[in-house]
Amino acid sequence: MKEEFYISLIGEAFDGYTEERLGDRTVYIKHVNIRDQRYLHKYYEKYKKKALDKGVETEEERIKYVLKEGLWEEKDDMQIQSLDFEIDNLKKTVNQLILSSQRQKYREQIDKKTQELISLKGKRKEVIGKTAEDYATARSGDEVLRFLLFKNKELTEHFFTELEFDDLEAWEIGALTKMHSDIQSRLSDKTLQEAVLRPFFSMYLSLCEDAYGFYRKPVTELTIYQLRVVLFGRMFFNIFQFTEDIPDNIRDDPEKLLAYSESKKNNSTNPIRDDAAGSAVFGATNQDVKELGGTEGGVSLTEEAKKHGGTLNMEQMMRLAGHDV
């Protein structure tokens, strides 16, 4: 992405709102702060109570019913729990891996199992049907959306009154929901991490240690995106301060930078010897070796083994590691 996009992204986070066009009018969508989150929970509980008062069952009650009636198998519920556990462990493992090629293989496993999980949860949802939680999520989501829309950038005058919002057509609510979803996607953790690693932000990294000094606002007044900017800035500043020999080609890639930092924590020495004539890492591709700070002459033991019939003897291994034999 172009530098201008990341500059605009940081500016959007700093403003605490996003400016959009709604027909021929300008609307300002407020970014949520910690105080707002209290209202989000309040709206949810308000509509959940309404649903319960109308006799709508909770998800827990519906699950018990469909299991009792044989409409859903307990083994399928166990499979959902198992997949959740596996995916969580795979994500933790990815952060421990040194080689990007290995991380990619694990990510493929994560994607595959995530799709299985989504499919299973979708089938369970079809069996369970609508619950009090579903009703609360949908209705509170609409009310929160109205709460975040303003006529002015000072965020003092709501764009819609309650009555005006209630009169909106379903497609209009859908358009507003998509607008808000696009903002969340644009200001995702990944893009914010990429933004704070761009050259224009480098002079601000050390200042992220002091959130109040950075924004001149109490933490309770900061939006979640403003907090994430200083959090990621502080995190990467510490990595640059305390992690040695970071390869230049990964310094602006948050995923590779975090993985490299984690690998250095888990290994007291660089996995590739600086003084070796030919650096060797088992299972590493040439790209892995370059990312780990090895020389262009670095080799993969896997690739070298293929050249020798699938195995390497001790003498060959020592030569690859830079030892004279």
**pLDDT tens, 270-287?**
444 444 444 445 555 666
pLDDT of residue 183: 95
**Pair (14, 87) in one structural domain:** yes
**Residue 253 domain flag:** no
Structure-token pair, residue 274: 């600086």
Domain-located, residue 73 = yes
Query: Taking the model in full, what pTM does it have?
Result: 0.72
Residues 299 and 165 occupy one common structural domain:
no
The residue from 135, 167, 186 where one domain ends is 186
Q: Is residue 90 part of a domain?
A: yes
Contacts of 94 (CB under 8 A, 6+ apart): 103, 106, 107, 110, 259
Provide the residue-wise pLDDT of the chain in tens; the chain has 325 residues: 689 999 999 999 999 999 999 889 999 999 999 888 888 888 899 999 999 999 999 999 999 999 999 998 889 989 999 999 999 999 888 777 767 778 788 889 999 999 999 999 999 999 999 999 999 998 888 888 999 999 999 999 999 998 999 899 989 999 999 999 999 999 999 999 999 999 999 999 999 999 998 999 998 899 999 999 999 999 999 999 998 889 888 999 998 898 888 877 766 544 444 444 444 455 556 666 655 555 444 555 566 666 666 665 656 655 655 555 5
Residues 216 and 115 in one domain: no
**Hey, how many other C-beta atoms are within 10 angstroms of the C-beta on 184?**
12
What is the layout of strands, in order, in the sheet containing 25-30? 17-22, 25-30, 149-150
What span, in angstroms and rounded, lies between the C-alpha atoms of 201 and 67?
54
Residue 32 is classified by DSSP as P
Same domain, 96 and 239: no
- Which residues does residue 253 pair with via DSSP β-bridges, in sequence order? none
Q: Please check whether residues 221 and 282 belong to one and the same domain.
A: no
Confidence (pLDDT) at 320: 55
**Statement to judge: residues 160 and 98 lie in one domain:** yes
Query: Do residues 28 and 61 share a domain?
Result: yes
Q: 143, 163, 186: which is the final residue of a domain? A: 186
Contact by Cβ (8 Å): 201, 233: yes
């900017």: which residue's tokens?
229
Residue 252 lies in a domain: no
Question: How far from 281 is each of 55, 213, 228, 321, CA to CA, in Å?
Answer: 62, 44, 35, 9
- Residue keyed to tokens 């500059």: 7
Residues 148 and 241 in one domain: no
Query: Residue 216 is part of which domain span?
Result: 189-247
Query: Would you list the DSSP string of 243-262?
Result: -----GGGTT-HHHHHHHHH
Same-domain status, 120 and 207:
no
Q: Domain total for the chain?
A: 3
The one-letter amino acid at 156: T
Q: What is the largest CA-CA distance in the chain?
A: 85
pLDDT at 274: 45
- Minimal CA–CA distance to 237: which of 265, 209, 269, 278? 209
Residues 99 and 132 in one domain: yes
Question: Residues 85, 119: contact at Cβ < 8 Å?
Answer: no
Inside any domain, residue 32? yes
pLDDT value of residue 251 = 92
- Among the candidates 143, 167, 186, a domain finishes at 186
**283: region left, alpha or beta (phi > 0 left; psi from -120 to 50 alpha):** left
Specify if 259 maps to a domain.
Answer: no
DSSP, collapsed to helix, strand or coil, labels residue 161 as: coil
According to the model, what pLDDT value does residue 273 have?
A: 46
143 and 108 housed in the same domain: yes
Nearest to 222 by CA among 19, 38, 31: 31
Query: Would you say residue 257 lies in a domain?
Result: no
Non-local CB neighbours of 182 within 8 Å, separated by 6+ positions = none
Closest CA to 32 of 140, 135, 202, 149: 149
* Token pair in block for residue 139: 């209705």
Helices and strands (H, E) in the chain, number of each type:
15, 5
| 8 and 129 belong to one structural domain | yes
Does residue 325 fall inside a structural domain? no
